[in-house]
């Protein structure tokens, strides 16, 4: 559930700061409620994180000169950026590639999360833009050594919200994990490797996706393969276009959500997610089930659509992201209209964070 709150004035005199909003998806043990001593019946919720040690730079010669590509004398606050990407591939030595990736990120002082899976890589990294560009160069070299080309990778760039303090939006720790899948899917719902290995849907760019929605043609169905809490703050809406609304709690719920045959009569299926990585697997699964409609996925996901159409397209609200920015609007534009609501009082609300509704 999503909750909202108005920050009490009493907080102005306390030594603590409150992040902008909240979600009940946060586990109870990650938050504590404190009563302000100067007022009665004032409830404030704060979130505390046990942060791992900060990223550290490795030895200069550890990465064949990769660290030398980045001048760490630059002011990182002036050009802080977030890099999002994925690639489905098979590595010759997944563990060696994982170790090389971790060493590169440490040397360049990047923070974020990388999933180095048997079937590819999925990453969100934050840091100075020049360091991220150096990371891309080094990743090209490392992937080539694994027999993998990343020339087709869609490197997406995100920026901090200028209306919020930058320090609250930065990625602070580094996690580079070896795992089975880029997105966890095949271990749930009886999905086998043959199903997820089927050819994915046809990729359509933002302009074609927009055009189909604009037509409002009969038989067009929108399929959002993101989780329900992501949809609550932003989603596509178009007149005359049916939204399948699968109500996924996690991506591996997809097979169960499709068991009722809700898409079997659809003429055109428009799939979307944040950046495209989940659509690749979801569309392959649908193909394996014999879905007959024209199956399309939004190339580059909501991220690329927002870049193209801003607040003037069919995407309403904000795009949820898995980093401290939490939810982002179209780059360079004013905050979009709020589509989310507090689950307790019904007030318009779209910011996940740590406040609790006081109504």
Active site residues: 273
- Which of 68, 78, 85 minimizes the C-alpha distance to 123? 85
- CB of 27 closer than 8 Å to CB of 21: no
The DSSP element (H or E) to which 104 belongs, if any, is helix 94-107
Residue owning tokens 């002011």 = 75
* 3-class DSSP assignment, residue 31: strand
Supply the DSSP symbol for 125. E
- Which of 19, 17, 11 minimizes the C-alpha distance to 42? 11
- Which of 11, 17, 16, 129 minimizes the C-alpha distance to 70? 129
Four-CA torsion 210, 212, 214, 220, nearest 10 degrees? -130
* 3-class DSSP assignment, residue 180: coil
Burial of 162 (0-12, 13-18, 19+ CB in 10 A): exposed
- Which of 351, 350, 352, 306 minimizes the C-alpha distance to 332? 306
């Amino acid at each position: 559930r999503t909750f909202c709150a108005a920050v009490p004035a009493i907080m102005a005199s306390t030594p603590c700061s409150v992040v902008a909003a909240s979600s009940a998806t946060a586990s109870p043990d990650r938050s504590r409620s404190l009563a302000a001593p100067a007022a009665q019946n004032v409830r404030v919720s704060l979130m505390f994180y046990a942060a791992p040690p900060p990223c550290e730079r490795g030895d200069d010669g550890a990465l064949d000169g990769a660290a030398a590509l980045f001048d760490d004398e630059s002011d990182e606050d002036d050009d802080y950026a977030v890099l999002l990407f994925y690639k489905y591939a098979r590595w010759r030595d997944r563990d060696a590639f994982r170790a090389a990736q971790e060493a590169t990120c440490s040397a360049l002082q990047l923070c974020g999360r990388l999933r180095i899976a048997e079937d590819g890589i999925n990453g969100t990294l934050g840091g100075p833009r020049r360091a991220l560009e150096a990371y891309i160069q080094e990743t090209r070299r490392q992937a080539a050594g694994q027999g993998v080309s990343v020339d087709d990778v869609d490197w997406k760039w995100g920026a901090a919200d200028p209306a919020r303090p930058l320090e609250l939006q930065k990625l602070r720790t580094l996690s580079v994990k070896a795992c089975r899948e880029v997105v966890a899917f095949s271990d749930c719902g009886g999905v086998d490797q043959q199903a997820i290995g089927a050819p994915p849907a046809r990729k359509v760019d933002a302009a074609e996706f927009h055009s189909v929605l604009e037509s409002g043609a009969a038989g067009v169905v929108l399929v959002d393969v993101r989780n329900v809490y992501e949809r609550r703050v932003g989603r596509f809406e178009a007149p005359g276009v049916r939204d399948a609304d699968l109500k996924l709690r996690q991506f591996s719920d997809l097979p169960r959500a499709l068991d009722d045959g809700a898409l079997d009569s659809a003429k055109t299926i428009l799939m979307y997610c944040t950046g495209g990585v989940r659509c690749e697997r979801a569309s392959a699964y649908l193909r394996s089930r014999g879905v007959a409609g024209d199956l399309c996925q939004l190339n580059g996901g909501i991220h690329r659509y927002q870049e193209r159409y801003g607040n003037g397209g069919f995407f309403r609200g904000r795009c949820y992201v898995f980093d401290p920015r939490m939810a982002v609007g179209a780059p360079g534009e004013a905050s979009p209209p709020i589509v989310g609501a507090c689950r307790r009082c019904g007030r318009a609300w779209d910011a996940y964070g740590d406040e609790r509704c006081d109504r």
